[in-house]
Amino acid sequence: MDRFEIIDLVCVVDACTTDRAAGRLVSMARAVEELRVLTGDFVSADETVANALSAVALERGCAVLFDEQPGADILRAP
């Protein structure tokens, strides 16, 4: 978490948290993108950003969904 400001991490986690029947949930795909836009950091590895965000989310009592998948934006023709 040293490379990110804690206030940025908290703001992104709060903005990306959804309340579900099973509890509060944070999508890492959405949170990583939001943090990149907020900070302008498009260089850090997704894993680094997700690790920093997930630590804050867990401290705030949220479940974390690691839903980022490489190549998810590529459409596959049948």
Q: Where are the beta strands (DSSP E) in 21-76?
A: 23-27, 63-65
| Strand partners for 45 | none
Assign 52 to helix, strand or coil: helix
CA distance 58 to 43: 24
pLDDT tens by residue, the chain, 78 residues: 568 999 999 999 999 999 876 689 999 999 999 999 999 999 999 999 999 999 999 999 999 999 876 555 454 545
Q: Tell me the whole-structure pTM to 2 decimals.
A: 0.81
Reading across the β-sheet that carries 23-27, which strands appear in turn? 17-20, 23-27, 63-65
